[in-house]
Amino acid sequence: NAGVTQTPKFQVLKTGQSMTLQCAQDMNHEYMSWYRQDPGMGLRLIHYSVGAGITDQGEVPNGYNVSRSTTEDFPLRLLSAAPSQTSVYFCASSYGHANTGELFFGEGSRLTVL
């Protein structure tokens, strides 16, 4: 098992550009989520999904879109990147719903917006 795989690991964007952060898991987990972590701060929930075809907003959803067409994949789209979106992004997954056990995290994607 590869666990939770995030790509790319590093990305530099210019203001206004769009991009997609990829997240894939091979554990057949129903629950997936995206967090961002700014320097010296905790994690903030962007979006989450409890299964294919179902997504919902977290604490800081503005500027981001998600979709869940398959159980394995949960991409995060930045529509028009802004310097305020410079952050480390973590994808996580869990079997069943959020409270049914541990969250498995990816290694993170470090995004810089110039």
Partner 1 sequence: DAKTTQPPSMDCAEGRAANLPCNHSTISGNEYVYWYRQIHSQGPQYIIHGLKNNETNEMASLIITEDRKSSTLILPHATLRDTAVYYCIVISNRDDKIIFGKGTRLHILP
Binding-site member from 52, 60, 72, 105 for partner 1 (CB under 8 A): 105
Listed ranges 15-23, 67-75, 79-87, 97-105: which one lies at the site for partner 1 (CB under 8 A): 97-105
Give the DSSP per-residue string, 46-88: EEEEEETTEEEE-S--TTEEE--SSSSB--EEESS--GGG-EE
103 binds partner 1 (CB under 8 A): yes
Answer for the pair 64, 45: CB distance below 8 angstroms, yes or no.
no
Binding-site member from 27, 45, 52, 60 for partner 1 (CB under 8 A): 45
26 binds partner 1 (CB under 8 A): no
In the bound state with partner 1, the residue whose beta carbon lies nearer, of 5 and 20, is 5
Strands 31-37 and 87-94: antiparallel
CA distance 68 to 51: 7
46 binds partner 1 (CB under 8 A): no
75 binds partner 1 (CB under 8 A): no
Tell me how far, at minimum, the Cβ of 90 lies from partner 1, in Å: 5
Size, binding site for partner 1 by CB under 8 A: 28
Could you tell me the two tokens for 86?
């410079």
Terminal-residue alpha carbon distance, the chain: 36
